[in-house]
Amino acid sequence: MSTSPSAELCVRCKGRLYCGMHYCPILERYKSARRITSEIKGTEFSGNSPPGVFVSWNDYPNISFAPMSPPKVMENADLLDNPEKWYGIAQEEIIAFREILIRGTKKFNALSASNPSYELSEMQEMLMASKPTEVEIKLKYAPKIELEFDASAAPSGPAAPLEKFTLAENPKIPKDIDYAVSDFDLKANSALQELYKKEVPVHVLYKLLSAGLLGVQKNRKLTPTRWSITATDSNLSNAMISRIKEFSKIDSYLLFNSNYLDNNFYVLLLPSEWQFEQLEAWQPGSPWAGNAENAFIISDYEFYKGRTTYADNVTGAYYSARLAVCEYLTQQKKQAGAIIFREIGPDYRVPLGVWQIRENVRYALKQKPLNFYSLDLALHYIDSKFRIPMKFWKSKSALLDAHLRQRRMHEWF
């Protein structure tokens, strides 16, 4: 299945400016198409931050660090920036959550996290909180009332330069987070793993990483949100993979499904040693495929020894899905190969971030699986459910190619 060269580039790029332009026309189109109404009056407001922050990747290392808050105190403020509670919520409602989060942007050098100013320290303290924290924000001028979209992070709401940020109450900081942040000799990777074991949610972990609150003190950096999300997913799943390789293998083909936001996922677990692949098919009309005539399939994979390079095609979605699979296998104390089939339809109208990949796969793996004796039967079933014929998925899959060519022991008897 082919598409135009520009559509192919957009599917692979997802806003990373491979085309050489200084902005992404696709994201700009969504940005300008959705104008919103804010409840903010003037340039000052008090609200309760979820807590939330958005850290841009433009002009790194001199980046925009933006604490986020609704323009008033809200009962459900936590839900505004908690994607682990969003599964099943309609796209428009999620966008509505993000519309009312005002960003006060402030330029910092990424290295300033190792010796933060008082202002940055207050913002960091807020982000350590276990629940919404009341803040007072003064902007230099009224925010531009529009949304910005990103392939990795959730949509970002109205923004304006920050003039003053003040904590209006003392944040309630969990002991485990306080301990990890206060340990200036604990490496960031180890801190992420320790906090995850203490059941600190993934979305909290990547905010702490973004805010430069984890790691050896001299190495602490403010990290763009899109980078911190992928780093968190990758780090946590890498640690699990080492343990998964010690478990016994599953003994049949298990198939799980989730369909949310017009993203149809089939998760196929293989009775093999650890390996992983994610295949994505972008249908015409979906964000990156645009008006292309046909769907376009991309993939990234790893065999038992793992990857040595970044998953540059599927990008952050690869690591989000891999984390969800690793969580399941760790819980089951089983080893398996995994292939993620993701078919994206035109009703997925704007990119909402990789959280929905993680949550779709998590949800799928909570369901009772279909059990197949052979790979061919499992693929035939998936073929009956997808719009894109299986032959095109097979042509892009390294794992399917290896498994379909490999003869299994029972075939000789």
For residues 262 and 302, give the distance between their C-alpha atoms in angstroms, rounded to a whole number.
Answer: 27
Can you state the angle between helices 175-182 and 188-197, rounded to 10 degrees? 170
For residues 32 and 289, give the distance between their C-alpha atoms in angstroms, rounded to a whole number.
Answer: 19
For residues 79 and 83, give the distance between their C-alpha atoms in angstroms, rounded to a whole number.
Answer: 8
Q: What pLDDT, on a 0 to 100 scale, did the predictor assign at position 7?
A: 62
**Per the structure block, which two tokens stand in for 244?**
């998964």
> Is 305:340 a contact under the CB 8 Å cutoff?
no
Provide the 3-class DSSP secondary structure of residue 63.
strand
Q: What pLDDT, on a 0 to 100 scale, did the predictor assign at position 407?
A: 52
Q: What is the pLDDT of residues 135-153, one digit of tens each?
A: 999 999 988 878 888 889 9
Angle at alpha carbon of residue 89, lines to 229 and 49, rounded to 5°? 55
| Cα dihedral sign, 152-154-160-166 | negative
Distance of CA 304 to the CA centre of its chain: 24
For residues 260 and 281, give the distance between their C-alpha atoms in angstroms, rounded to a whole number.
Answer: 15
Q: What is the CA radius of gyration of the chain?
A: 22
Residue 10 host element (H or E): helix 5-13
Q: How far is CA 67 from CA 51, 128, 137, 138, in A?
A: 8, 12, 9, 12
- Does residue 3 register a pLDDT over 50? no
- Does residue 107 register a pLDDT over 60? yes
Q: What pLDDT, on a 0 to 100 scale, did the predictor assign at position 27?
A: 67
Q: Is residue 29 exposed (0-12), middle (13-18) or buried (19+ Cβ within 10 Å)?
A: middle
Residue reference for tokens 């920036």: 81
299 φ, ψ to 5°? -155, 155
**Per the structure block, which two tokens stand in for 276?**
């992983």
Return all residues near 230 (Cβ < 8 A) that are at least 6 apart: 152, 315, 316, 319, 320, 354
Provide the 3-class DSSP secondary structure of residue 26.
helix
Q: What percent of the chain has pLDDT over 90?
A: 78
Q: What pLDDT, on a 0 to 100 scale, did the predictor assign at position 1?
A: 47
Q: What pLDDT, on a 0 to 100 scale, did the predictor assign at position 286?
A: 64
Q: What is the pLDDT of residues 202-256, one digit of tens each?
A: 999 999 999 999 999 999 999 999 999 999 999 999 999 999 999 999 999 999 9
For residues 285 and 185, give the distance between their C-alpha atoms in angstroms, rounded to a whole number.
Answer: 49
- Does residue 291 register a pLDDT over 80? no
Q: What is the pLDDT of residues 81-94, one digit of tens each?
A: 999 999 999 999 99
Q: What is the pLDDT of residues 262-284, one digit of tens each?
A: 999 999 999 999 999 999 998 87
* Confidence tier at 2 by pLDDT (50, 70, 90): very low
Angle at alpha carbon of residue 387, lines to 288 and 280, rounded to 5°? 40
The β-bridge partners of 268 are 255, 339
Interval 344-361 mean pLDDT: 93
263 φ, ψ to 5°? -115, 105
> Is 49:68 a contact under the CB 8 Å cutoff?
yes
Q: How far is CA 70 from CA 67, 208, 355, in A?
A: 11, 20, 21
Provide the 3-class DSSP secondary structure of residue 229.
helix
The β-bridge partners of 301 are 277
For residues 371 and 351, give the distance between their C-alpha atoms in angstroms, rounded to a whole number.
Answer: 33
Q: What pLDDT, on a 0 to 100 scale, did the predictor assign at position 39?
A: 60
**Per the structure block, which two tokens stand in for 287?**
């964000």
Can you state the angle between helices 355-366 and 316-332, rounded to 10 degrees? 30
Residue type for 58, please? Answer: N
Please give the model's pTM, rounded to 2 decimal places.
0.91
Q: How far is CA 394 from CA 5, 32, 252, in A?
A: 22, 38, 20
Q: What is the pLDDT of residues 368-381, one digit of tens each?
A: 999 999 999 999 99
- Does residue 5 register a pLDDT over 50? no
Interval 61-77 mean pLDDT: 95
Q: What pLDDT, on a 0 to 100 scale, did the predictor assign at position 255?
A: 98
Q: Among the residues of 15-64, which ranges form H helices?
A: 25-33
For residues 207 and 225, give the distance between their C-alpha atoms in angstroms, rounded to a whole number.
Answer: 7
Return all residues near 202 (Cβ < 8 A) that are at least 6 apart: 84, 196, 232, 233, 236, 323, 358
Q: What is the pLDDT of residues 294-326, one digit of tens each?
A: 778 999 999 999 999 999 999 999 999 999 999
> Is 343:386 a contact under the CB 8 Å cutoff?
yes
